Amino acid sequence: MDDPTRRTVTEHLQRAELMFDLGRVPDARAEVDAALRVDPLDPDANAMAAACAVADHDPDEALVYAGAALAHKPEHRRAMIMRGYALADAGRDQEALQAAASLLDLDRTSWLNHIHYALITRRAGAAQPALDAAWNAVNLAPDQPRTHLALAAIAEDLGMDDLARRSRQAAADLEPAGADPVADGRAGSKLGFDLAARLPPAQVPPEARRAPRRWVDADGDDAHWREKIYGPGFFRGALGRSVLLGLAVVFAVPALLGSQIAPGPRLFFAAVAVAAWVGWFTVLRRHRRPE
């Protein structure tokens, strides 16, 4: 006999959305897991699981769930969006750019798609396409505060402070007094905005609320202390970055000052130093990319 208290996939996902809106990602994930036990192939449940994984800084898991959703519904918009963010978070920039482009191929008239294209491509390091897409979103929906907030976030990230200030003011002018920017656009915010950590918390849609992640000052009581030190890859953690910087300094000194060293070894030391500097700078830049 069926259990009358057993919830359907839809009911679990409704509860998951509510928990996600409140910033309670672990509770949302528990509801999503329950939905997947009812139907492991449900595209909406898998896409929501991908959103939870992105919020929890686990792009590899997000890609698995997004892929499962897209396998059963190739144009599932949330799954496509989450796949783009996950690829960018995983450092797979070219694939992230392709995933973002697929959103515009899906519907170029959607200001939501232009926002996600902008934010994903910016996270993947493409500044000008991101800025262009943010402007397109504003032009498509100038009455939507979220288009101006997206433009402000990207402009601020690019150091265009005047544009960021004017865009934030435009969003504020459009927002009714006392309104909740997240709740007012709840159907759209479910698609996974990422308006950058510098936005005021009340203006950040739920799927953008990644918990701040530190790679230094790990606490021994922290279950993730190893990840903070070693990172998702050795050279992406605090220890690995220190090793790269140390190698750059150690090999640069004899390359620059070792006048008594033969030209061949000095060139070798210089090559190692340059490679270490480039690696350190690249990892540091990715480490400082806004969440």
Residue 8 scores a pLDDT above 80: yes
The CA distance from 68 to 207, in Å, is: 19
pLDDT digits (tens, 9 = 90+) for 44-60: 999 999 999 998 888 99
Instruction: Say which residue, 157 or 280, is predicted with more confidence.
Output: 157
- Cβ neighbour number for residue 176 with a 10 Å cutoff: 9
Q: Which of 27-36, 222-231, 277-286 has the highest mean pLDDT?
A: 27-36
pLDDT band at 197 (very low <50, low <70, confident <90, very high): very low
Domain boundary pick from 179, 208, 237:
208
The CA distance from 218 to 225, in Å, is: 5
Domain boundary pick from 182, 208, 234:
208
Specify whether 100 is located in the same domain as 188: yes
pLDDT given for residue 235 in this prediction: 52
pLDDT above 90: percentage of residues in the chain: 40
Specify whether 170 is located in the same domain as 262: no
Q: Does 112 reside within a domain?
A: yes
pLDDT above 70: percentage of residues in the chain: 67
pLDDT given for residue 184 in this prediction: 35
- Cβ neighbour number for residue 259 with a 10 Å cutoff: 7
The CA distance from 227 to 58, in Å, is: 12
pLDDT, mean over the chain: 76
pLDDT band at 183 (very low <50, low <70, confident <90, very high): very low
pLDDT given for residue 178 in this prediction: 37
pLDDT given for residue 62 in this prediction: 92
pLDDT given for residue 282 in this prediction: 67
Specify whether 111 is located in the same domain as 193: yes
Q: Does 57 reside within a domain?
A: yes
pLDDT given for residue 82 in this prediction: 92
pLDDT given for residue 42 in this prediction: 94
Residue 217 scores a pLDDT above 80: no
Specify whether 141 is located in the same domain as 251: no
Q: Among the listed ranges 16-30, 140-154, 264-278, which one has the minimum average pLDDT value?
A: 264-278
Residue 154 near residue 117 (C-beta atoms within 8 A): no
Domain of residue 237 covers: 225-287
Residue 202 scores a pLDDT above 50: no
The CA distance from 106 to 77, in Å, is: 9
Residue 287 near residue 215 (C-beta atoms within 8 A): yes
Specify whether 72 is located in the same domain as 186: yes
Give Cα 89 to chain centroid, integer Å.
Answer: 5
Q: Does 3 reside within a domain?
A: no
Specify whether 56 is located in the same domain as 119: yes
Q: Among the listed ranges 220-234, 235-249, 257-271, which one has the minimum average pLDDT value?
A: 220-234
Q: Residue 242: phi, psi to the nearest 5?
A: -65, -40
Specify whether 159 is located in the same domain as 42: yes
Count of structural domains, the chain: 2
Q: Among the listed ranges 52-61, 216-225, 247-256, which one has the minimum average pLDDT value?
A: 216-225
Residue 141 scores a pLDDT above 80: yes
H/E stretch holding 14: helix 9-21
Domain boundary pick from 208, 237, 272:
208
Specify whether 231 is located in the same domain as 121: no
Residue 30 scores a pLDDT above 70: yes
pTM of the model: 0.63
Q: Which residues of 58-95 are buried (b: 16+ CB within 10 A; e: fewer)?
A: bbebbbebbebbbeebeebbbbbbbbbbbbbbbbbbeb
Specify whether 119 is located in the same domain as 41: yes
Q: Report, as an integer, the average pLDDT of 244-264.
A: 71
Specify whether 172 is located in the same domain as 73: yes
Residue 225 scores a pLDDT above 70: no
Specify whether 121 is located in the same domain as 240: no
Residue 203 scores a pLDDT above 70: no
Q: Is the dihedral of CA 267, 271, 272, 274 positive or negative?
A: positive
Q: What is the CATH number of the domain that holds 78?
A: 1.25.40.10
